[in-house]
Amino acid sequence: MHACPRLRFPREQGGARVAVIGTCPEWQVRGACRGSFALDFFPPPAGERRDEKRRREGRAKTICANCAVAGECLDYALALRDVHGIWGGMSEIERRELMGLST
């Protein structure tokens, strides 16, 4: 059993969605986002200004750009469809656009 870095986030921040399906894929423990900066990958519960969001997502995407499991991560998020936050270097809006869904 290994610790899943994303399960500790509440439902509105994407973690519980993963918990609901009951899996923590092996690749998650190899993600470059493990560590104290993981909060950059999810919006804060109290909301954030547009410029704060842009900076936070930029920091997260920089980490994703050097992640060895970015492909697996993006595939996983696309399969979940409605998961929040940055996964595989893409925001939820970017993933919805990629899937041809309205934003």
**Closest-CB residue for ligand SF4?**
31
DSSP for 25-53, please give it: -GGGGG-TT-SGGGGGGS--TT---HHHH
Scan residues 35-94 and list those touching ligand SF4 (CB under 6 A).
41, 63-64, 67, 69-70, 73, 86-89
18 binding ligand SF4? (CB under 6 A): no
Q: By C-beta, is 4 or 48 nearer to ligand SF4? A: 4
- Binding interface with ligand SF4 (CB under 6 A): 31-33, 41, 63-64, 67, 69-70, 73, 86-89
